[in-house]
Amino acid sequence: MEEQPIPASGKSAGSLPPKPVARLSAFTTEEVERQLGGRTRDIRLNIELSRLLRERTWPQMSKIIRAWMIWVIVLDVLTLCLNAFLLPAGTVMSMLLPASILPPAAVTVAVVFREQRARWLQATVLLVGVFFILVSVALVGVATGGEFYERHLTIMLFVAVTAIVIFPVPLRWAMVIGAYAIGIYLLFQLRNPDIELGSAVAGTLFFASGIGATLVARRTATILAHKTFLLELRDRSRLTDLSDANARLELLARTDPLTGVANRRSMMETLDDCWQEAGNSGGAAILMCDIDDFKCLNDSLGHAEGDRGLVKVAGIIQSSLRDDRDHVARYGGEEFLILLSGAGKHAAYAVAETIRKRVEAASLPNPLSRVMPNITVSIGLATTKRCKSISAEHLQRQADEALYSAKAQGRNQVVAHADSE
Those residues whose C-beta lies under 8 Å from the C-beta of residue 278, and which sit 6 or more positions away, are 284, 341, 342, 387, 388
**pTM given for the model:** 0.58
Is 305 found in the same domain as 223?
no
Is 177 found in the same domain as 300?
no
Residue 421 counted as domain residue: no
From the number of C-beta atoms within 10 Å of its C-beta (0-12, 13-18, 19+), residue 126 rates as buried
Phi, psi (degrees; rounded to nearest 5) at 302: 100, 160
Is 280 found in the same domain as 201?
no
Is 366 found in the same domain as 277?
yes
Domain count, the chain: 2
Residue 8 counted as domain residue: no
Residue 227 counted as domain residue: yes
Tell me the angle at which helices 102-112 and 119-144 cross, rounded to the nearest 10 degrees. Answer: 170
Q: What dihedral do alpha carbons 386, 388, 389, 390 form, nearest 10°?
A: 100
Which of 224, 240, 256 finishes a domain? 240
**Per-run averaged pLDDT (10 residues), the chain, 421 residues:** 42 39 71 84 84 86 94 90 85 89 95 91 94 94 87 93 92 93 94 88 93 92 87 83 78 82 86 73 86 93 93 94 89 92 90 95 93 95 83 91 94 89 64
Residue 3 counted as domain residue: no
Which of 240, 275, 309 finishes a domain? 240
- Give me the amino acid identity at 261: V
Is 409 found in the same domain as 288?
yes
Is 177 found in the same domain as 39?
yes
Q: What is the pLDDT of residue 130?
A: 95
> What is the domain-level CATH number for residue 298?
3.30.70.270
From the number of C-beta atoms within 10 Å of its C-beta (0-12, 13-18, 19+), residue 213 rates as exposed
The answer to whether the CB of 181 falls within 8 A of the CB of 157 is yes
The answer to whether the CB of 58 falls within 8 A of the CB of 7 is no
Is 156 found in the same domain as 46?
yes
Task: Give tens-digit pLDDT for 236-247.
Answer: 888 877 777 787
With vertex at residue 320, the alpha carbon angle to CA 315 and CA 322, rounded to the nearest 5 degrees, is 130
Q: What is the pLDDT of residue 16?
A: 38
Is 292 found in the same domain as 209?
no
Is 169 found in the same domain as 100?
yes
Q: What is the pLDDT of residue 239?
A: 80
Q: What is the pLDDT of residue 10?
A: 37
Residue 343 counted as domain residue: yes
Is 217 found in the same domain as 319?
no
Is 90 found in the same domain as 44?
yes
Residue 139 counted as domain residue: yes
Residue 125 counted as domain residue: yes
377 bridge partner residues: 291
- Give me the amino acid identity at 370: R
Q: What is the pLDDT of residue 4?
A: 46
**Nearest C-alpha neighbor of 379 from the set 326, 323, 319, 313:** 313
Which of 187, 208, 240 finishes a domain? 240
Phi, psi (degrees; rounded to nearest 5) at 142: -65, -45
Task: Give tens-digit pLDDT for 207-218.
Answer: 999 999 999 999
Cα 92 to Cα 41, 76, 96, 155: the distances in Å are 50, 13, 7, 17
Domain span at residue 302 reads 264-416
Q: What is the pLDDT of residue 3?
A: 46
How far apart CA 127 and CA 133 sit, in angstroms, is: 10
Is 317 found in the same domain as 224?
no
